[in-house]
Amino acid sequence: MSVEVLLVDEDHDVLEIVATFLGQEDDLSVTSESDPEAALEMALTGDYDAVVSDLKMPKLDGVELCTAIREHDESLPFFLFSAREPEDVQPAAADAGVTAFVQKGTGTEQYSVLADRIRDAV
């Protein structure tokens, strides 16, 4: 059975790269969305097992997106995937109900970490 992941990032290049790496995992199926407001609607009406979101986005940032989802669904695993330092993000992320924070970096190791965190939460 495949884990359905909604991936949210305003940067189309980042969406493509992250979707490619996560999509290489046999048990993950990725849907990408660049508009966080559209992603909110998708998360609330779709059949997703997890949401992975960038932090800094226009209209709704990742923490605001998580907060909005939590108002309707407290159990949907929500991951922030950001280049920001964890200590800069974690207090607000914890308050919003973020399941886990994974830091973007160079190389490909962060994609395996993200995939493992998704599996662990689902």
* CATH assignment at residue 29: 3.40.50.2300
For the beta carbon of residue 88, count every other beta carbon within 10 angstroms.
11
Conformation bin of residue 20: beta by default, left when phi > 0, alpha when psi is -120 to 50 = alpha
DSSP 8-class letter at 2: P
Chain segment 86-122, per-residue pLDDT in tens: 888 888 899 999 999 999 988 899 999 999 999 999 9
Q: What is the pLDDT of residue 106?
A: 84
Alpha-carbon separation of residue 89 from 11, 37, 79 (angstroms): 20, 21, 12
Mean of all residue pLDDT scores within the chain: 94
The pLDDT confidence band at residue 3, using thresholds 50, 70 and 90, is very high
**How many domains does the chain contain in total?**
1
Q: Which residue range is the domain that position 19 belongs to?
A: 3-121
Output the furthest CA–CA distance in the chain (Å, rounded).
36
Local confidence band at 85 (pLDDT 50, 70, 90 cut-offs): confident
pTM of the model: 0.94
The percent of residues in the chain predicted with pLDDT above 90, rounded, is: 85
